[in-house]
Amino acid sequence: MKREKLRAHAPLDEPKPVTDLRVRQIRARDLLRGDLEGPDLEQHVEESVLTTTMHKALGWGRANSIFPATFGLACCAIEMMSIVSPRYDIARFGAENLRASPRQADLLILSGRVSIKMAPVCRRIYDQMLEPKWVMAMGACSSSGGMFANYAVVQGADKFMPVDIHVPGCPPRPEAVVYGFNKLQRMILGNPDPGWRKRYNGAGTEEWAREATGEASPEEIAAYEAARDLAATHESSRSQASRGGRA
């Protein structure tokens, strides 16, 4: 009797979005029993199933459950530690779980200067991490050597391991680390922020592709063009998406 009343509230021949939770529950029960048929069934499926690509689903899962490694190098580590505190609360982005083993970690935060004695250790920890894995160079020292232009410190961590994101600062505030982390999440989702490449129209002009002397090699030219094409496709897809969203 009650159900009849509720059904009267949601006429079957008009497929408009069902907002009443009780109605949705009753429909779901009908579906399981096999009673739901016709446009009713179609509407129910349309409203409750989401389609996506495997890549996007994986990226979504990975980006929102990154486990950073518990690994501090120097003074930046103090700032890194506070990102899990309630004030900065990186748990909002699913990364509050700092793993004590590189085997369980996805993200290595190089928080501080890397001395030449520590570089093999960092590299080893990176090698021990399971794929997929990401590296954040936090602060000036691990990005470029910082103020330690001397015999004991490696001038930038990307000399011995691939770095996905650099966070500037000396040391960066925890907000900056969280911001860099959000950029990393966007990168994992397949939607990287082109940053300075967009601002200065500089996609494909990265310095590693430029040879100081002589002609560029065919590989370098290919890398150039690939980077430029990638940036162009990203740009067009983004602008299309934003236009579609507004319309």
Partner 1 sequence: MPDAPGLELIAKELNDAAEGSVLGTYHEHGEACLIADPDRILDILRWLRDTPSQEYRFLSSLHGVDYLPAKPRFGVVYELLNMPRVERLRVRAAIDDPGGEELPELDSCVELFPGAEFHEREVYDFFGIVFRGHPDMRRILMPEEYVGWPQRRDFPLGGEPVIFTRDEPAMPRWYE
User: Which residues, numbered 194-213, are part of the site for partner 1 (CB under 8 A)?
Assistant: 212
What are the helix (H) ranges across 82-164? 119-128, 139-144
- Please say which residue, 66 or 163, places its beta carbon nearer to partner 1: 163
> Should residue 28 be labelled a site residue for partner 1 when binding is judged by CB under 8 A?
no
Which listed residue (8, 17, 49, 151) binds partner 1 by CB under 8 A?
151
> 113 or 133, CB closer to partner 1?
113
To partner 1, the closest distance from the beta carbon of 172 in angstroms equals 20
Q: Out of 1, 32, 49, 149, name the contact with partner 1 by CB under 8 A.
A: 149
Give the range of 19-27, 128-136, 142-150, 220-228 binding partner 1 by CB under 8 A. Answer: 142-150
Least Cβ distance, residue 247 to partner 1 (angstroms): 45
Q: Positive or negative, the Cα torsion across 153, 158, 161, 163? A: positive
HSE-CB at 99 with a 13 A cutoff on CA atoms is 18
Strand partners, 68: 107
Interface pick for partner 1 out of 51, 53, 150, 201 (rule CB under 8 A): 150
215 binds partner 1 (CB under 8 A): no
Cα gap 148→185, rounded to integer Å: 30
What are the Cα distances from residue 24, in Å, to 32, 41, 122?
Answer: 12, 12, 53
Residues 116-135 that bind partner 1 (CB under 8 A): 116-117
φ, ψ of residue 234 to 5 degrees: the values are -60, -45
Instruction: Please tell me the distance from the alpha carbon of residue 118 to that of residue 114, in angstroms, as a whole number.
Output: 6
Measured on CA atoms in the order 175, 163, 168, 148, is the torsion positive or negative? positive
Interactions with partner 1, residue window 81-120 (CB under 8 A): 116-117
CB closer to partner 1 out of 84 and 140? 140
Give the binding site for partner 1 (CB under 8 A).
116-117, 145, 148-153, 155, 212
